[in-house]
Structure 1
């Protein structure tokens, strides 16, 4: 069984990615969630309604032991199965001006986005290397490419993953593993629900927020065999706000 794992797959962009991979591929979809089991089960239901198979898998990407235990348990229970596609989507924001930023807000954002990338990817990459095939797609952000005031912690975490993407891509390319990053701008989701869309869309050349499905289309392409000559790239999807 060939599988695609999407971290933070229960809601928002992660959910849209799970559904799009279910629609476009034959991959068994592993929907990772941290706390919202109900949302993960709803995503699974929608994956199955699209005629594909999937399951939910619970772990906090920031907790190295939890990641190891959950993935080892799954691998032991699914002998012969291989995770060919990994979408590192889990992330959190704790916005605020840097001068007033508590250490907790810095560390929790770095731990989830950056250490989460390490914990999951490092655990799965050996299998991809021995299998001589893989697709790693890291969800970053316009914040990680251009920097966003009030998001120094988030920009730092996502910017680090941009650099990691470029380095790792060069290490594993000979084994037919591609590593790319997708950098969304303002996308309609839980994460942007509090923002003033009317005010912000004036800054966006296409004059609107993006949809999670538009991001998912790009991720689905990068997860496919069609993208085999694209690696080490950061692809911006932001309506022209920054490129």
Structure 2
């Protein structure tokens, strides 16, 4: 039997076929989990990352592994987005036991262009939205799965010295110190909480110049690929990972 058969997983922020979100959906599906994923087309369209009919095409790929799938557009800026998502998942597939906080708001900002408005835009999705979703997910898990130890929350985080991504790194980095206290809070109800820093991952944004400049910083000899963190997420979703919680894992090939 596949290691995640019978489980339901939520993956937020699944933008396009080249991203970590899509790779995570497919990896979890291969392991037997039913998949519900979200996206937010207006943001993706503004960033020129929108692929025509992508959600339905990804659903077809997920279904090819013999599992169920569904999806919805979700703006994590909205007050009721967390409840709307979890209610929809419940109606379409059932109560989820796996949550992957992959949704991201990112707009280049340096010390000259950073404003309170664009900092708030980053915060609303990268911190407030992700944390409130994790909390509501945990409440529902506790009600539906008492005395079970199969809940899993994984957050994608970021850090580093990029001077042109100050708001993004500041807000994604803020998730790191919340990982440990949240893991302590949720351990008694059977949920583990971990964060993953995948480092520079080639999801289509790395051009030839960046590849050539960054490649020497990878002692393993290649750039990160979406399938790399997807495999880690799948392991963290499994029963074998139960003793791992409260960790921020640098999963970046020695970068």
Matching residue of 1:83: 96
**Which one has a larger percent helix, Structure 1 or Structure 2?**
1
Deviations 1:197-219 (A, max 9, x none): 11121222223211101110001
Secondary structure (helix, strand or coil) at the match of 2:10 reads strand
Counterpart in the other structure of 1:136: 153
1:54–1:66 distance in 2 versus 1, CA, 3 Å: same
Q: 1:150 aligns to what?
A: 164
Q: Which residue of 1 aligns with 2:9?
A: 4
Maintained 8 Å contact 1:64/1:119: no
In structure 1, C-alpha distance between the alignment counterparts of 2:141 and 2:252, rounded to whole Å? 31
* Residues 39, 73 of structure 2: 8 Å contact kept: yes
Hey, what does 2:30 align to over in structure 1? 23
Question: TM-score, normalization: structure 2?
Answer: 0.84
* Count of matched residue pairs: 235
CA contact (8 A) 1:139 1:183 kept: yes
Distance 1:190 1:121 in 2: 28
Gaps of 5+ in 1: none
Check conservation: 1:7, 1:32, Cα contact below 8 A.
Answer: yes
Asked if 2 retains the 8 angstrom alpha-carbon contact of 1:61 and 1:119, the reply is no
Change (3 A) 1:70 1:136: closer
**1:72 corresponds to 2:87:** yes
Unaligned runs of 5+ residues in structure 2 are: 1-5, 42-49
With over 3 angstroms needed to count, the CA separation of the structure-2 counterparts of 1:71 and 1:136, relative to structure 1, is same
Worse-superposed segment, 116-125 or 81-90: 116-125
State yes or no: 1:62 paired with 2:69.
no
- Cα 1:66/1:55, change in 2 over 3 Å: same
Counterparts of residues 109-120 of structure 1 (less than 5 Å): 109-120=122-133
Hey, what's the Cα distance between the residues in 2 that align with 1:195 and 1:112?
30
In the TM superposition, residue 10 of structure 1 has moved relative to its aligned partner by 4.0
Runs of 4+ aligned residues of structure 1 deviating over 3 Å after TM superposition are 190-195
Q: In structure 1, what is the Cα distance between the partners aligned to 2:77 and 2:29?
A: 26
DSSP 3-state at the match of 1:172: helix
